[in-house]
Each structure stands twice: as structure tokens, then as C-alpha cells.
Amino acid sequence: MPSPGRRFKDAIYEQFARVSKALASPHRIELVELLAQGPRTVEALARMADMSLANTSQHLQVLRAAGLVESTKEGLFVTCRLADPTVGTLLLALRNVAETRLADVARITREFLAENAQLEEVDEAALRQKVRKGNVTVLDVRPPEEYEAGHIPGALSVPLPELAKRLSDLPKRREVVAYCRGPYCPPRTEPRLAVLG
């Protein structure tokens, strides 16, 4: 029969494993990343993650069961949010470990940029210099509510679904830099765009 110490360790590590099991899906990691930006309805999450409403709801149930996500019902809509700021910290730690330990992260990013030759990654220092010189148009392609919550000074709000039809309104002889919520959400292939890395 296991000792009390062994039973304690087995029980406590089982609880830790509940969290890692909940994050063992790329879709659930994406939902946590979206919720790290702010509360969202299930419908908005489904649209932003390009998943069906049913799949999104199932993934959210797993995240709720692990204590990572909370939700409230407001009329006909269910709004979800991260249960605690430490969940966002966990997401960043997970990403940092993957970037540090898995060469595939850099390879996948390089391959994406190579396949979409019109996209070019721009780091923060280079962007600041381009903005100071006034020879770049900065687009915030996040949803309007995220832009309103905070954005790069001087950036124009052009939500991703509107990007294609608004490109003709942009200055013709200026570089365009688009940014979204993080390093792994580059805009879909569009002409004349650089991506803030």
C-alpha cells in the first residue's frame, strides 16, 4: 500500500496534470491566447479561431473544467474570460519554452514568411525608426474593441475582415506594416504588407 507521502504526491500531480491536459490541444491554446486579450463571447471566439460554435463550446468546457476559463451568461450570450491573470502568465511561459526548446517554431515561421513572399517581418526597433521618419503606414488589424483598448500611436484601425477592401485607400508609395495580437497571428496573405514581429 502506498505511503501517505506517495498518495499525496500522486494526488497533487494529478491536479497539475489536469491543467496540462487542458492545454494539450492547439485549439484550446489559441482560445486561451484570444481570451488573454480580453473577454469574448463564445460566438466571437468561434469566429476568431475559425472553428464551429459546437467545437468552440467543447474546448471551452475543457478549459473551464481545469479552472482556466470562467464564463457568465448575459441574455442570450455566454461571455468567457481567463479565470486569473496567472493563466496568461502560463500561456507566455509555454510559448517561451516552445520558442527556446523547439527549433520547429522558428522553422514554421520562416517557411510561412517564405511562402508569402510579400510579407516581411519587422522588429519593434525598425518599426519605431520607420514611424519617426514618417515613411510607413501602420495598420492595427485586430478587432475594433482591441484597438480601442490600446494601440501603437498613429496606427490606423483596419480590422482584418476589412483589410482587402480598404487597401486601395492606403498611400501608394508607403510601406504598410500590419500588426495583430502577437507574433503568431500574421494577417492572411495581402499585397504590400510587412508584419510586425
- Are the C-beta atoms of 91 and 33 separated by less than 8 Å? yes
Q: Domain with 87 in it: what CATH number?
A: 1.10.10.10
What is the C-alpha separation between 92 and 35, in angstroms, rounded? Answer: 13
Domain count, the chain: 2
Q: Domain with 173 in it: what CATH number?
A: 3.40.250.10
* Other Cβ atoms closer than 10 A to 108: 12
Task: Say what the pLDDT of residue 186 is.
Answer: 56
112 plus 188 within the same structural domain: yes
Residue 31 domain flag: yes
What is the C-alpha separation between 144 and 38, in angstroms, rounded? Answer: 12
Task: Say what the pLDDT of residue 119 is.
Answer: 63
123 plus 183 within the same structural domain: yes
Residue 97 domain flag: no
69 plus 123 within the same structural domain: no
76 plus 113 within the same structural domain: no
Q: Write out the DSSP string of 168-189.
A: GGS-TTSEEEEE-SSTT-PPPS
Q: Is 78 helix (H, G, I), strand (E, B) or coil?
A: strand
Task: Say what the pLDDT of residue 160 is.
Answer: 79
81 plus 112 within the same structural domain: no
The DSSP call for residue 44 is H
Residue 99 domain flag: no
Residue 41 domain flag: yes
Those residues whose C-beta lies under 8 Å from the C-beta of residue 175, and which sit 6 or more positions away, are: 130, 135, 136, 137, 192, 194
Residue 170 domain flag: yes
Task: Say what the pLDDT of residue 118 is.
Answer: 59
Task: Say what the pLDDT of residue 177 is.
Answer: 84
Residue 46 domain flag: yes
22 plus 53 within the same structural domain: yes
Alpha carbon distances (Å) from 67 to 24, 51, 62, 63: 15, 22, 9, 6
Residues of the chain with pLDDT below 50 are: 187-197
Q: At what angle do helices 53-65 and 26-36 cross, to 10 degrees?
A: 80
115 plus 188 within the same structural domain: yes
84 plus 133 within the same structural domain: no
73 plus 113 within the same structural domain: no
Q: Is 140 helix (H, G, I), strand (E, B) or coil?
A: strand
Residues 86, 87, 90: CA angle, nearest 5 degrees: 85
Residue 68 domain flag: yes
- Are the C-beta atoms of 63 and 22 separated by less than 8 Å? yes
What is the C-alpha separation between 40 and 57, in angstroms, rounded? Answer: 12
What is the C-alpha separation between 38 and 44, in angstroms, rounded? Answer: 11
What is the C-alpha separation between 40 and 126, in angstroms, rounded? Answer: 33
Q: Select from 62, 91, 120 the last residue of a domain.
A: 91
48 plus 11 within the same structural domain: yes
Q: Is 180 a catalytic residue?
A: yes
Residue 96 domain flag: no
Q: Select from 40, 64, 91 the last residue of a domain.
A: 91
Q: Determine which one of 22, 46, 180, 195 is catalytic.
A: 180
Q: Select from 52, 67, 91 the last residue of a domain.
A: 91
| Residue 149 CA to its chain's centroid (Å) | 16
- Are the C-beta atoms of 22 and 67 separated by less than 8 Å? no
87 plus 18 within the same structural domain: yes
Q: Which residues form the domain of 61?
A: 4-91
